[in-house]
Every structure is written in structure tokens, then in C-alpha cells.
Amino acid sequence: MRIHILYKFVEGPWGGGNQFLKALRDYFREIGVYSESPEEAQVILFNSHHCLDEVFRAKKRYPNKILIHRVDGPISYVRGRDKIIDEIIFQFNELFADGTISQSSWSKAKNYETGMRKSPYEIIIMNASDPNIFNREGKRQFNNNKVKLVATSWSRNIRRGFDVYQYLDEHLDFYRYEMTFVGNSPIEFKNIRWIRPVPSREVASILKEHDIYIVASKNDPCSNSLIEALHCGLPAVARNDGGHSEIVGEAGAFFENEVGAIDAIEKVAQNYKYYQAQIDLTTLDEIGQKYYEFAQSIYGDYLSGIYRPKQISLSGTIGFRMKTMRWKALSKLLSLPEEVRPK
């Protein structure tokens, strides 16, 4: 059985989903089960709301291929808007996906609360980072006299924790701490060192120069950035929200608000070796094997006649097309200056 990931990969610094899927593709290639084209694959893996038109065309052309949907979000929780994207994801999942992979228990539960229905086959599989890049080789030794903090974010959405980062920029004791932010930011920092987006290998090098990773994003289903930092040996200080607690486990401290973030930072700094020793993450090989075994279970049931892949219906096609047309029209409308939008 061979798998194709139907996704428009981007080289260089980009979002966490892109980075994880590249690592997963490399794993499938390494074990010899990856197909470079959907035509030669028995299973097609697709991601969230990306490339849905291409997935639909592949399903129409190859009706008996198994479609597996990697779902995150809900998008409206993560972004604070775009509920229509959730509606499209849920509808496409119900109509065409044979299996659904959630990235955390939190994400799965929230998607059900928001309107997603159960799939014939479901599983929760957390993400993992590329071990050739994100590892502890060259990790700096902890120095309690000057603790070095780091945060990263590709997205500049304010909900990615920038309320907390701005508070730390203004209130953190910079005689005791240093802090670096890597990525895109909607705010300017006064005391935090800001490094614009860099490729993954440079991100890993920067992480290893620091001691503690801070993640303050709201409603984040499964932060790839957090996973990357933990794999580099950094215990975490995390907002107690989304899927953070499922990733961090005992390897860090949690906070509820800006003031609590400083207390959590000090807690980890004072007990650094303990929290670092609690880092316990699933490897990319283990995650990749889970993906493959899940796909194999569906495909095996198809071959044995237990399961028949979902088929395209006229009503389903019309419903999907109408919703995507509405989404595209709304996106075009929102791209206009506010003063010229229809009231």
C-alpha cells in the first residue's frame, strides 16, 4: 500500500502544518511507501481545508481510493474568525473522507462541539518534528545566572500569544532573563530580541541557544513549534489552553494570564533539570508508523469487503460547490478596503 500527501508544500520558513507534512513525507519516502503522484497511491492524505478542489477531482477520477483527512482547528477557534472554513472542512469530511486524524484530544472535542460528525475511522495522532533538524545536539548548558527564553510563531495573528509576549517585553526582569522571538509579529518589541522568519535548521540552532520555550497561543490544537522546542531539549512555559498540556505533560509549567506567565517562567528556571528530564515525546518514526497503520487498517477493510469508500453524490457535490463559492466570495470581499465593502 502506498500513500500520497495531496498538499502544496512550501520550501523555507512557513507554517507548522507544512513543516510536519514535509517531515512525514520524508518518513514515508524513507520506508518506501510514498507515491509521488495520487494516481499511483492507494491512499491519499490531505490536510484541513487545503487543496480541497484537487482532492475532490482525485476522488472523482479514482472513486475507490481511500481519503484520509488530517483535521486541525477548529479554525474559528484558532483565528477568532472564518467559521465558514470550519463548515467547509466538516462538510468535506462528512461527504468524502474515509478516515479522520485529529492532532489532539482537545481539537477533536472542539471540532465535534462546532459541528463535525464522526468518520467511519478515527484516530488521534500528535505531530512530530524532523529528528535530523530538531534534536539536542549542541544544546547549550543551563545557566541560572542568565536564563534565556525563546518564543516562535509563523503567524502574526494576535491570538498567537502576542498579548503575553508584549506583557513580558514590558515587565520581565531583563537583568535576570533574556528573551528572543523568532517569526512574524504584529507588534514591535523594546526589550525582546526579534529575529524574522528563518529556515527550520536556523530555527533549531536558535532554540538550542536558549533554555526555556514560551508558548502563549490561544486555542492551538497541536503546536508544531512547541514540539520542535521540546525535541531540542527546552522545557516549556505554556498557556493552559488548547492542546498544549497534551504535548508538554510534566515537562513545564502552565499559566492562565500574563502575570502568571512570569511566575511559571520562574518556576521552571528554579527547577530546570527536573522539568527538562520530564520531556517525553513520540518520535517521527513512531508517529509515521501510526499514520501508516491507520491507513493500512482502512485499506485492508476495503480489500476484504468490510468497507466501501465513500462515493461522490450529485447533492454532495452541489452542496460543497455552493459553500466553497460562498467562501471565495467572502474572502474576496474581506480583501477590499473596509470603506468600500458593501454594508
CA distance 2 to 44: 9
Question: 288 and 273: one domain?
Answer: no
Residue 30 clears pLDDT 80, i.e. is over it: yes
Q: Residue 339 pLDDT more than 50? A: no
Confidence of residue 329 (pLDDT cuts 50, 70, 90): low
pLDDT value, residue 253: 98
Q: Which of 184, 187, 229 lies closest to 211, judged by CA? A: 229
pLDDT score of 14 more than 70: no
165 in a domain, yes or no? yes
Beta bridge partners of 222: none
Residue finishing a domain among 230, 248, 277: 277
β-pairing, 177-183 with 121-124? Answer: unpaired
Contact 161, 241 (CB under 8 A): no
Identify whether residues 268 and 313 lie together within a single domain: no
168 and 217, same domain (yes or no): yes
Crossing angle of helices 284-303 and 16-30, rounded to 10°: 70
What pLDDT, on the 0 to 100 scale, is given for residue 320?
73
Amino acid identity of residue 64, one-letter, is N
CA 48 to chain centroid: 10
| pLDDT recorded at residue 312 | 81
Q: What is the pLDDT of residue 331?
A: 58
Average pLDDT, the chain: 91
Neighbours of 130 (CB within 10 A): 20
304 and 264 in one domain? no
- pLDDT tops 60 at residue 106: yes
Parallel, antiparallel or unpaired: strands 43-47 and 193-195:
unpaired
pLDDT digits (tens, 9 = 90+) for 39-59: 999 999 999 988 888 999 999
Identify the CATH number of the domain in which residue 233 sits: 3.40.50.2000
pLDDT of residue 325 exceeding 90, the answer is: no
Question: CA–CA separation, 97 vs 17, rounded Å?
Answer: 19
Q: What digits encode the pLDDT tens for the residues 60-80?
A: 899 999 999 999 889 888 887
| In a domain? residue 169 | yes
Same domain as 185, residue 101: no
Q: Does some domain include residue 51?
A: yes
Mean pLDDT of 272-299: 97
The span from the CA of 41 to the CA of 144, in Å, is 52
Q: Where in the sequence is the domain holding 61, given as residue range(s)?
A: 3-128+284-340
Same domain, 18 and 122: yes
Whether the full predicted model's pTM is greater than 0.85, yes or no, is yes
* 199 and 229 belong to one structural domain: yes
pLDDT above 60: residue 263: yes
- Is 292 a residue whose pLDDT tops 60? yes
Q: Which pLDDT value is given to residue 18?
A: 87
**Residue 44, C-alpha cell as written in the block:** 491519499
The share of the chain scoring above pLDDT 90, in percent, equals 77
- Are residues 253 and 171 part of one domain? yes
135 in any annotated domain: no
Give a yes or no: residue 36 inside a domain.
Answer: yes
* pLDDT over 60 at 342, yes or no: no
Residue 250 maps to a domain: yes
Residue corresponding to grid cell 472513486: 63
Q: State which of 228, 249, 277 marks the end of a domain.
A: 277
pLDDT at 332 over 90: no
The verdict on residue 137 lying in a domain is: no
The verdict on residue 141 lying in a domain is no
What pLDDT, on the 0 to 100 scale, is given for residue 81?
Answer: 79
Reading across the β-sheet that carries 121-124, which strands appear in turn? 3-6, 43-47, 66-71, 99-102, 121-124
Neighbours of 295 (CB within 10 A): 26
Question: Alpha-carbon torsion 311, 317, 319, 324, what sign?
Answer: positive
Nearest residue to 214 via CA among 241, 198, 236, 193:
236
Specify the pLDDT at position 125. Answer: 97
Complete DSSP assignment for 226-277: HHHHHHTT--EEEES-TTHHHHHTTSEEEESSHHHHHHHHHHHHHTHHHHHH
Helices marked H in 172-235 — which ranges? 200-208, 224-231
Same domain, 119 and 151: no
Exposure class string for 26-44: b at 16+ Cβ within 10 A, else e: ebbeeeebbbeebeebbbb
Task: Tell me: do 73 and 157 sit in the same domain.
Answer: no
Q: Phi first, then psi: give them for residue 97, nearest 5 degrees.
A: -80, 130
Calpha distance 105→123 (Å, rounded) = 10
User: Which of these, 131, 279, 137, 282, lies nearest to 208 by C-alpha position?
Assistant: 137
pLDDT tens, position by position, 188-246: 999 999 999 999 999 999 999 999 999 999 999 999 999 999 999 999 999 999 999 99
* Section 266-287 average pLDDT: 97
- How many domains are there within the chain? 2
CA 89 to the chain's CA centroid = 16
Q: How confident is the model at residue 334 (pLDDT cuts 50, 70, 90)?
A: very low
pLDDT surpasses 70 at 153: yes
Across residues 333-339, what is the average pLDDT?
A: 40
The per-residue pLDDT for 146 is: 93
pLDDT of residue 85: 87
User: Which of 245, 277, 309 lies at the terminal end of a domain, its last residue?
Assistant: 277
Which amino acid is located at 273 in the chain? K
124 and 157 co-located in one domain: no
pLDDT band of 333, cuts 50, 70, 90? very low
C-alpha cell at 142: 543551563
Give the whole-number percent of the chain exceeding pLDDT 70: 93
Residues 79 and 52 in one domain: yes
